[in-house]
Every structure is written in C-alpha cells, then in structure tokens.
Amino acid sequence: MLKYKRVNIVAPQAGSDNLVDMIAGMAGKNRHIVSIACNAYPTNYLRVYRDAEQIVDCDCVNLTDEAPWLPMDLPLAEGQQVKVGIYAPENYTLTFQITIGYTETG
C-alpha cells in the first residue's frame, strides 16, 4: 500500500540546513520510499539523508507544479533513519512542506 507522510520545516539560517526526522525502518515492516516533494522555491535545496549518507541534494525549483514529485528508490532496513531538510543560501521567512510517498509491507 502506498502511504504519504508530511512534515513542516522552518527555513534555516543562510548557509545551513535544517534537518528533521522523517521516517525510520522498523522490525517487521518493509518500508521503501518511492517519491518526495516539497515547495518549489528557487535556490533552496531539498536534502535527504539515510543515516549519515546523503541521498538527495536537489534545487527545489526543479520540483515544479507540472512535476512536483521526485521519484526515489530508497529501501529502509530495521533501524535506519531518514532525515529530510532544506538548505538555504539566503535568509528566508518561509515554512517548507516536505512529503514522502512510501510503501510498507509486513
């Protein structure tokens, strides 16, 4: 079954990113992230980490109204943690919404 999860993230200070926990691998659950989307603000970067490994570093302007979802193929093993966030090169007073699509079996 395809599920969705959303978080709100306040834009970080210029030159830094603001990461939050999104989803984790669990015992008895096979989770697999298949897509991600966020607000399309130019020069801000969507970032995704699985544990300490950076998986996504994408300019948000690439996620447009016509193609808002970035396809992914990211399985999560038990105990693996996914963090998502925004990197901002300038100061903004924005709140970003980041949404993932994932499957879960088990």
Where exactly are the structural domains of the chain?
2-105
What is the pLDDT, as a whole number, of residue 93?
85
What is the pLDDT, as a whole number, of residue 65?
76
pLDDT: which is higher, 83 or 93: 83
Is the pTM higher than 0.85? The answer reads yes
What is the pLDDT, as a whole number, of residue 83?
97
What is the pLDDT, as a whole number, of residue 106?
81
CATH number for the segment(s) 2-105: 2.60.120.230
What is the pLDDT, as a whole number, of residue 21?
96
Q: Cβ of 40: how many Cβ atoms within 10 Å?
A: 16
Q: Are 90 and 43 in contact, with CB atoms under 8 Å apart?
A: yes
pLDDT: which is higher, 72 or 61: 72
Determine the average pLDDT of the residues in 75-79: 95
CA distance 12 to 94: 9
Strand partners for 21:
83
| 11-15, 17-21, 44-48, 72-76: the lowest-pLDDT one | 11-15
CA distance 15 to 23: 25
Q: Where are the beta strands (DSSP E) in 11-80?
A: 16-24, 30-38, 45-50, 53-59, 70-76
For 62, phi then psi, to 5°, come to -70, -15
